[in-house]
Amino acid sequence: MSSGSSRLRLGLPLLAKELLEQSARKRTYVLRTVYAFLLFAGGLMMFYEVIRYGMTNPLSVLGRGRDVFQMLIGLQVAGIYLFMPAITCTVITSEKERKTLGLLLLTKLGPWTIVLEKYLGRCFTMLTFLMLSLPMMAFAYSMGGVNAGDILIKSWILMLTTLQVGAFALMCSCLFRTTTGAFIGTYLLGFLFYFGPAIVYEWSGMDRNWSTVELLRESLNTLFEPLVGSDVFQHQDQLVLLWIPTVMLFETSSSTATLPLVFVQSLPSQLSIVIFLCLARVWLVKRAFVPPRNAVLSWFRKLDGLFVRLNQNRLTKGRVLFNEATTLPEDQPIAWRETRKKSLGTVRYLIRVFLVLEAPVLTICLSIVILGAGTSSQAIPDELSLLFFLMWMLSVLLVVVKASSLIAGERTHETLDVLLTTPLTTEELISQKLRGLWRLLFVVAVPLLTIILFETWLRGIVTRLWGHRLSAGLYFLSSVLAVLIYLPLAAWISLYFGMRMQTQARALFASLATIVGWCLGPVLMFIPLAVIFTVGRNDELLFLILAGPATIIPFTEFSALREIADAPWVVVVLNFVFFGMAALVIRAKCLRDASRLLGRAEPR
């Protein structure tokens, strides 16, 4: 009997279609290769110390398999959280963008069938990724210290994590209308889901001996003790993170863990999977034909109404600082369109974004001053460094999303052909399209510069009072150059992929993958070489770590530039000269290849 008849007999036609399409895509094998590279590179870095002892005394590695096994499971968990959302968040939005979801709903396949078969198709893909670690698991098992129970428990946790993350990403794919929105929403909402309650619990200062929490813990232990033979929850903090499967990797002792105990502890996680799938089923139908709507613009218009009402008072008397409604295009129509008609291009809307970003930055900086941080021997408060890194990630994300959609968004809305008919050279067209992007780049740069100025002042105080060699001038120069060079560099990379790719989603994925790969690639290459060759200060190999753009930022933030060389000023200058030239080269390539990528002949 033919393979087609076998698929029909199985009753899973959509799953078979998904697997066949994935096997025919080049992207599937690229992702698998990248995952394997990161997995084995991370394994090499973590296993090298164990293997190095075995080179001198082979018997010394016996019993070390548990450590290797735990590190391997940690790598797999990181891979699931990094790759599974990107794999799954496009599963429904791609059907919406191709306008084929309605055809699926017209078939005999019910909504539950569509949800479950799409879900299983992505989980199967992630399962093939997890199977790449089997050789290293066998290596860890051969070293001893790992039993069959450990393998079963950790495999259950990995499978549960895959199912939960996949169900959450599928729910977001049904909720959002576009792939770009689903991609961003999955990671942002996922961060809030996994870390939000824990952050609120820790920062709220709640009493760990709260009687209600203790009563709930004792009740659950009493309920499940006959099944597992011991207390399910050892302390109250476990109740805050019940729905996260990977918490069991740290909260459950390896000596007392049993499969029934882990199964009971994972019941909230299993319940969350069911809830996510039910929400996906509901939103699959309700949001299948949601009309195109600019959510950012709608939000800004609501804010406009609020500010207009607040402006009607005795003090301001309805005065308007920026009135852009009466302006008309003159000799730069595309620039006018980007700066007057786009939500992230107009001055009044960019002021809204600026206030949203700048207000928490100023609040935290001022609170540090009020509380007296920085006047002690501690160099820089950890909260300020965390805020700095979060602002960097948010700024790069905003720039990448905006730049990658400049051209790809025109293709999606079928307006690119109209723009290409304008009597402008391609370079002029690109320059005018970028006008709104440069405004956004300035807005996101201001909060970063605020933190930089505040830290420069703080470093000067600490150096003067306590004698720390924090070099405020070097920090200021390195950090400002990073803002001035890295943000335009990310913009030009994203613009290139936006011109090259046919859809916004592919342009966004390619841009983020390139930027993240460029940042992490040199670090992953450097660490095993540094361990093997015992790299020290002033070693030429140490400069390999600077081949990633993001490396200089933490080195500057933590005053560790002298760990690279005795002349940190030289390190800063060489780093930014290289990446400044890289930005100019990518810019020149974008402008040179623009006509070819857009399929346009230059007007005479």
Q: 131-164 pLDDT, tens per residue?
A: 888 888 887 777 777 777 778 888 888 899 999 9
Model confidence band, residue 283 (pLDDT cutoffs 50, 70, 90)? very high
Q: Which has the higher per-residue pLDDT, 259 or 311?
A: 259
**Which range has the top average pLDDT, 141-155, 191-205, 346-360, 476-490?**
476-490
- DSSP letter at 261 equals H
Which phi-psi region, left, alpha or beta, contains residue 469 (left: φ > 0; alpha: ψ -120 to 50)?
A: beta
Query: Where are the strands (E) in 144-238, listed by range?
Result: none
Which phi-psi region, left, alpha or beta, contains residue 238 (left: φ > 0; alpha: ψ -120 to 50)?
A: alpha
CA atoms of 194 and 205, how far apart (whole Å): 19
For the entire predicted model, the pTM comes to: 0.73
Candidate from 182-196, 239-253, 483-497, 567-581 with smallest mean pLDDT: 239-253
CA atoms of 206 and 592, how far apart (whole Å): 59
Please give the structure tokens belonging to residue 344: 């992230």
CA atoms of 92 and 276, how far apart (whole Å): 14
**Which range has the top average pLDDT, 147-156, 201-210, 269-278?**
269-278
**Cβ distance 469 to 558 under 8 Å?**
no
> What is the DSSP code string of 239-259?
GGGTT-GGGHHHHS-TTT--H
Candidate from 377-391, 455-469, 557-571 with smallest mean pLDDT: 455-469
Res 466: pLDDT? 45
Q: Is the pLDDT of residue 481 over 90?
A: yes
| The Cα angle at residue 108 between residues 106 and 111, in degrees rounded to 5 | 75
Model confidence band, residue 2 (pLDDT cutoffs 50, 70, 90)? very low
Q: What is the pLDDT of residues 303-349, one digit of tens each?
A: 666 666 666 666 666 665 555 555 666 677 787 777 766 666 677 66
**Which range has the top average pLDDT, 37-41, 162-166, 466-470?**
162-166
Q: What is the pLDDT of residues 210-235, one digit of tens each?
A: 555 566 666 666 666 666 656 666 66
Candidate from 93-97, 296-300, 585-589 with smallest mean pLDDT: 296-300
CA atoms of 136 and 265, how far apart (whole Å): 28
CA atoms of 401 and 62, how far apart (whole Å): 50
As a whole number, mean pLDDT of residues 53-69 equals: 67
Res 526: pLDDT? 72
Res 528: pLDDT? 65
Q: Which has the higher per-residue pLDDT, 404 or 537?
A: 404
- Secondary structure of the chain: what % helix, strand, coil (to 5)? 80, 0, 20
User: Other C-beta atoms within 10 Å of 200: how many?
Assistant: 11
Q: What is the pLDDT of residues 383-410, one digit of tens each?
A: 788 788 888 988 898 899 889 888 887 8
Model confidence band, residue 374 (pLDDT cutoffs 50, 70, 90)? very low
Q: What is the pLDDT of residues 560-603, one digit of tens each?
A: 777 777 778 888 888 899 999 999 999 999 999 888 888 877 65
- DSSP letter at 550 equals G
Q: Which has the higher per-residue pLDDT, 380 or 262?
A: 262
Model confidence band, residue 185 (pLDDT cutoffs 50, 70, 90)? confident
As a whole number, mean pLDDT of residues 27-55 equals: 73
Model confidence band, residue 1 (pLDDT cutoffs 50, 70, 90)? very low
First to last CA, the chain: 63
As a whole number, mean pLDDT of residues 233-254 equals: 65
Res 376: pLDDT? 47
**Which range has the top average pLDDT, 59-63, 302-306, 367-371, 399-403?**
399-403
Res 496: pLDDT? 93
**Cβ distance 401 to 393 under 8 Å?**
no
Q: What is the pLDDT of residues 488-533, one digit of tens each?
A: 999 999 999 999 888 777 888 888 888 988 888 787 777 666 666 6
Q: Whole-number mean pLDDT of the chain?
A: 77
